[in-house]
Structure 1
């Protein structure tokens, strides 16, 4: 129900860029520019200053932004309240998720939720856990599914489940023969790690540091954003990696890689996060509850799958 021009203006002001606002709104940049022009013509004043590659708000723009945030918030609340009266959940749900959860947990979660609430439209954005956490804290997303325990005061988190982290390597690799592996057992071999901001990378670094081993002592083989590439390099014998059990079950069954538990055991948390001060619709609450239930059930299945 909210004026589309206000939605576009709010996105441009928050992102500080026509291009990023267009990406966030799934619009073209010319369409965003047109909406801003229309709004400025409506108020007969300039709302944005454009220069030197930067966008800033004029005094009138600051005023419009303050009211736009209130109007858009009320519009969202109105839509939610009316849909709740019908007893049928509906509408768009903006979900952020880490790459591992997106690949191995989210399909089952979304399938079961869509069967129960077919009129809900999940809009999923995939990034690493840190990026997802930041976007939820900025209230750009309704909720997130991540693999780190957040300490941001702007976020409320629910611990849904956990997944064991294991060393993965080629079946013929010397490490594959071990029953468990300490940090000191690993430093003689090249380590295939993840990209900065990735939850498993952070947990792996904490694992080494807890054993008194600096990351400067660890021989890096590669730093990768793609889990599929991590598994491929490990399977080809270029080094070892640390990955979650859910992400390697198929590879284990097909014999492409070997997996060995860490000592002490290491787990990645599966967290559902929500902006603490955002209006909490029944749709958001229902999905968060469902996510906790399904993630816990899947974690139990993955833990017993060999």
Structure 2
């Protein structure tokens, strides 16, 4: 196989990945800065190479056939590894330049990473950080599919096969409420008290949502979920208004405690325990000086005094 053919095969696989994402040839062509007929040509060429139909048209959309779906995870891994290989070489060429793709769940992406990324960029002005903030499960999927170099998330689950997790910090989950809320006169909470007040639930796929649902099942209570919010900052602001309560990591309400706009009590029963935040990456990833640089930076600064609650 010649160098040109190898490069072309990667392009074809990238087209298959984008077809699954966008479902339209025009959008794939735009993403790859190619003409639509060129994309169609490579799609047909890939089908000829595989000896089977990989794409089908339904209601104006291009979908993967069963064979295409079987090929898809390998296409994701192969194109992802190719991108990593190019990036690793570029990192060695000039450690003062490069792009680092980071995924973070909405808690760490709101609480800790903005300060970390800001400090890192000040220290290494030639580096560009692309930070994607999504619910925990989405971030884990991005990492598994090689779409981010590093992932930061709270978790109580065992890491997926091939994923290595470094413990960044241990946090405490607490019940937050406004100073004028009835909880402000209490010294402790019971499961039943938590169940009697308006509760703000976190976003689908988030660690906090999974945690609160598990807590409710284990405690035999039904949380009074009057609102679901996908932004941790919005959760805090809504709680500050007085009526609602919610679960939140203690490290995430540092400034609100200092200003007096929020108060907290330890979560009752089985909920009142520490949770862990991780920095995760592929165990078999090729060495990248830029990624290693950020990993060491994160470990060094995540526990700095002004990063703590």
Identify the TM-score tier after normalising by the shorter chain.
Answer: 0.7 to 0.9
1:206 to 214, 218, 243: 214
Deviation at 1:54, TM superposition (A): 3.4
Deviation at 1:221, TM superposition (A): 1.7
Residue number in structure 2 paired with 1:45: 45
Residue number in structure 2 paired with 1:302: 308
Task: State how far apart, in whole Å, the 2-side matches of 1:112 and 1:237 are.
Answer: 35
Q: Deviations over 1:58-92 (max 9, x none)?
A: 999x99x9799657735642542453265x25321
Residue number in structure 1 paired with 2:31: 32
Tell me the TM-score normalised to structure 2 length.
0.78
Residue number in structure 2 paired with 1:123: 130
Deviation at 1:125, TM superposition (A): 1.0
Deviation at 1:126, TM superposition (A): 1.0
Q: Deviations over 1:250-303 (max 9, x none)?
A: 2223332222222453333211011233334222222222222222336x8524
1:240 to 245, 263, 267: 245
Task: State how far apart, in whole Å, the 2-side matches of 1:66 and 1:167 are.
Answer: 44
Tell me the TM-score normalised to structure 1 length.
0.78
Residue number in structure 2 paired with 1:162: 170
* Closer, same or farther: CA 8–239 of 1 in aligned 2, 3 Å: farther
Contact kept, 8 Å, 1:131 with 1:197, in 2: the verdict is: yes
* Closer, same or farther: CA 35–185 of 1 in aligned 2, 3 Å: same
Task: State how far apart, in whole Å, the 1-side matches of 2:193 and 2:65 are.
Answer: 56
Deviation at 1:238, TM superposition (A): 2.6
Contact kept, 8 Å, 1:104 with 1:247, in 2: the verdict is: yes
Residue number in structure 2 paired with 1:108: 115
Structure 2: segments with no counterpart, 5+ residues: 48-53
Residue number in structure 1 paired with 2:50: none
* Closer, same or farther: CA 239–93 of 1 in aligned 2, 3 Å: same
SS, match of residue 164 in structure 2: strand
Residue number in structure 1 paired with 2:103: 96
Task: State how far apart, in whole Å, the 1-side matches of 2:38 and 2:276 are.
Answer: 47
Residue number in structure 2 paired with 1:197: 205
Contact kept, 8 Å, 2:16 with 2:75, in 1: the verdict is: no
Task: State how far apart, in whole Å, the 2-side matches of 1:133 and 1:75 are.
Answer: 19
2:92 to 76, 84, 99: 84
Q: Deviations over 1:15-59 (max 9, x none)?
A: 54363799xxxx965523735643665798365634012333799
1:19 correspondence with 2:25: no
Contact kept, 8 Å, 2:166 with 2:279, in 1: the verdict is: yes
**CA-atom RMSD in angstroms:** 3.7
Task: State how far apart, in whole Å, the 1-side matches of 2:199 and 2:66 are.
Answer: 51
SS, match of residue 55 in structure 1: strand
Residue number in structure 1 paired with 2:188: 180
Contact kept, 8 Å, 1:148 with 1:270, in 2: the verdict is: yes
1:292 correspondence with 2:295: no
Task: State how far apart, in whole Å, the 1-side matches of 2:295 and 2:190 are.
Answer: 36
Contact kept, 8 Å, 2:81 with 2:146, in 1: the verdict is: no
SS, match of residue 237 in structure 1: coil
